[in-house]
Each structure stands twice: as structure tokens, then as C-alpha cells.
Amino acid sequence: MSSLMTVVTLSIAAMLLAWNWQKNHVNAGIVDVVWAYGMMFAGVFYAFTGAGPLLIKLSLGVLTFSWFMRLGIYLQRRVLAESEDGRYQAMRRSMKEHATLGFLLFFILQAGFIVLLSLPFWVVAQNMQPQPALVAAALILAALSLYGETTADQQLATFKSNPEHHGVTCRQGWWRYSRHPNYYFEWLHWFAYPLLGWGSSYQYELWLAPIVMFCFLYFLTGIPFTEQQALRSRGEDYRKYQQTTSKFILWWPKSKSD
């Protein structure tokens, strides 16, 4: 339990520092960067303080480090290079004079999400009877998901770098088959943890991880806010995109005549 309390304490401290940073820079997007690095730290920390054998420790450590380090670097570059994300600008406008307190509570809530969503890492780290075949399958799945999310982010960044694409929705690469391929691959990678943790006392409960992440991405913090911002910034073009392109799962786009 001491390892859990360490993650709780450091997550809150990191988010308080991030909140102070956003006050000075008027850019609450830093919360996403700190969340990603916080998840990375939690995964690696649990891996090397867990009771499991070396196979599970190395697998968990490599998986969480590679996944969340890439995400953190990607988000950090975007936050430092661009103005505040439209989602957070909308939050700031809606909170008006209460924005300082509102963002403080929001940042602390994000610290709680680090603790909650990293619990599968802690469970996996305690697995004393990992199944080598399932560990291999988990790492392959994670690698494919990492490739998918990395290429989706690159495709979007390349598209947006062209000034002629301002106000136009990316329909290239993975974005032809899903409006949110980055979220889809994020969700897919969470299936790796039940595979890594199979054989532990909580092997069935670990299947809650991809279910919970799906709920967050699909109904709560992911798609709803992203789509609202897309409609504000791209209007009719994005509405047409919604009519032809799968919301989440990769699938062939509909023809305009459908």
C-alpha cells in the first residue's frame, strides 16, 4: 500500500504545480501532459516495486514507459507550441471569474484519475503466475496499438501543418476510417493489462480496465469534448464528416448516397 500512497502524493503534487503553471501561461492543456507523465511514472514505479517475477516487471515497465512517454512528449510539444486548446478555452469562458478555483478542482480531479487508471498497473505488478503466451500477446497488442496511435497523430499533424487545410477536417490515413483513431488505439492498448495480469488474484477484475477506458473516451472526457470543439472550429465540414465516418471503431466510410 505504500507504493499506492506514493503515487497518490506525487500525482497531487504534480497537478498542483501544473495548475500554478497554467495560471501564469493561461494554458490548461498542461494537465494532459502531466497526466501522461504521471501514468508513465505510476506504471514504471509499480513495475519495479511489485512482487511479481522479472518477466512481468519488465513487460509492464516497458509497456507503460513506451506508451505514456510517447504520449507525454507528443502532448508537451503541442501544448508548448500552440495556444490553449479550444476545449479548455470553452471551460475558461464558462467558469468566468471562477476559472482559477474551477481549474484547481479540475487539476486535482485529474490527479485522482492517475491514481484510479493506474490501478491495473499495480495489480499486474503483483501477478506471481504470469502466462508467458499471454504476456507475449499483450506486448504484441500494445506494439500494434502504439504504431496505430503514433501514425494517426503523425497523419493529423502533417495535415494540419498545411495552411490550406485550415478549417478542414483530416480524412487521410486512419482518419478516413474513424473520427477518433487515436482514441480507438488508446482503448485497444488497455486490453494488454488483463492479458499481463492473467493468473493473478484479480485476473477477472482487470477486464474492467478496457471497459472503464471505453466509457471515459466514448462518453466522458474524450469524444464528447473533442467533437464539440471540432463543430465549433470546422462547422459544416465536420458535420459532413460525422455523417460518413465511424465515430470510434475503424470502419469503411459511408458513401454520400447512403
**Confidence bin at 1 (pLDDT 50/70/90):** low
Report the pLDDT value the prediction gives residue 256, as an integer from 0 to 100.
63
Specify the pTM. Answer: 0.93
Mean pLDDT of 55-68: 98
Same domain for 114 and 137, yes or no, is no
The residue that leads in pLDDT, 221 or 77, is 77
Same domain for 47 and 97, yes or no, is yes
Same domain for 258 and 134, yes or no, is yes
Write out pLDDT tens, residues 81-94.
999 988 899 899 99
Domain boundary among 126, 160, 178: 126
Same domain for 115 and 144, yes or no, is no
Mean pLDDT of 114-133: 97
Q: How many domains does the chain have?
A: 2
Q: State the DSSP code for 255.
A: P
Report the pLDDT value the prediction gives residue 221, as an integer from 0 to 100.
85
- Residue holding cell 500494445? 142
**Confidence bin at 58 (pLDDT 50/70/90):** very high
Same domain for 108 and 198, yes or no, is no
Amino acid at 253: P
Same domain for 87 and 161, yes or no, is no
Amino acid at 256: K
Mean pLDDT of 53-77: 97
Same domain for 55 and 163, yes or no, is no
Same domain for 110 and 195, yes or no, is no
Report the pLDDT value the prediction gives residue 154, as an integer from 0 to 100.
96
Domain boundary among 83, 98, 126: 126
Same domain for 139 and 256, yes or no, is yes
Nearest CA-CA partner of 206 in 225, 217, 192: 192
Q: What is the mean pLDDT of the chain?
A: 95
Query: What is the C-alpha to C-alpha distance for residues 44 and 28, in angstroms, rounded to an integer?
Result: 26
User: Measured over all CA atoms, what is the biggest interatomic distance in the chain, rounded to whole angstroms?
Assistant: 59
Same domain for 108 and 190, yes or no, is no
Amino acid at 48: F
> Environment class of residue 199 by beta-carbon count within 10 Å: exposed (0-12), middle (13-18) or buried (19+)?
middle
Report the pLDDT value the prediction gives residue 2, as an integer from 0 to 100.
84
Query: What is the C-alpha to C-alpha distance for residues 217 and 178, in angstroms, rounded to an integer?
Result: 14
Domain boundary among 97, 126, 155: 126
Mean pLDDT of 211-224: 94
Domain enclosing residue 74, as ranges: 1-126
Same domain for 18 and 90, yes or no, is yes
Same domain for 60 and 3, yes or no, is yes
